Amino acid sequence: MSKLVIVGTVAFDAIETPFGKTDKILGGAATFIGLAASQFNVDAAIVSVVGGDFPKEYLDLLANKNLDISGVEIVKEGKTFFWRGKYHNDMNTRDTLATELNVLADFNPVVPEDYKNAEVVMLGNLHPLVQMSVLEQMNKKPKMVILDTMNFWMDCALDELKAVINKVDVITINDEEARQLTGEYSLVVAAQKIHKMGPKYVVIKKGEHGALLFHGENVFFAPALPLKEVFDPTGAGDTFAGGFAGYLTKTEDYSFENMKTAVIYGSTLASFCVEKFGTERMEELQDREVYQRLDQFKQLTKFEIILE
Give the residue numbers marked as catalytic. Answer: 238
3-state secondary structure the chain: CCEEEEECCCEEEEEEECCEECCCEEECHHHHHHHHHHHHCCEEEEEEEEECCCCHHHHHHHHHCCEEEEEEEEECCCCCCEEEEEECCCCCCEEEEEEECHHHHHCCCCCCHHHCCCCEEEECCCCHHHHHHHHHHCCCCCCEEEEECCHHHHHHCHHHHHHHHCCCCEEEEEHHHHHHHHCCCCHHHHHHHHHHHCCCEEEEECHHHCEEEEECCEEEEECCCCCCCCCCCCCHHHHHHHHHHHHHHHHCCCCHHHHHHHHHHHHHHHHHHCCCCCCHHHHHCCHHHHHHHHHHHHHHHCCCCCCC
Please state, in angstroms and rounded to a whole number, the distance separating the CA atoms of residues 107 and 61. 22
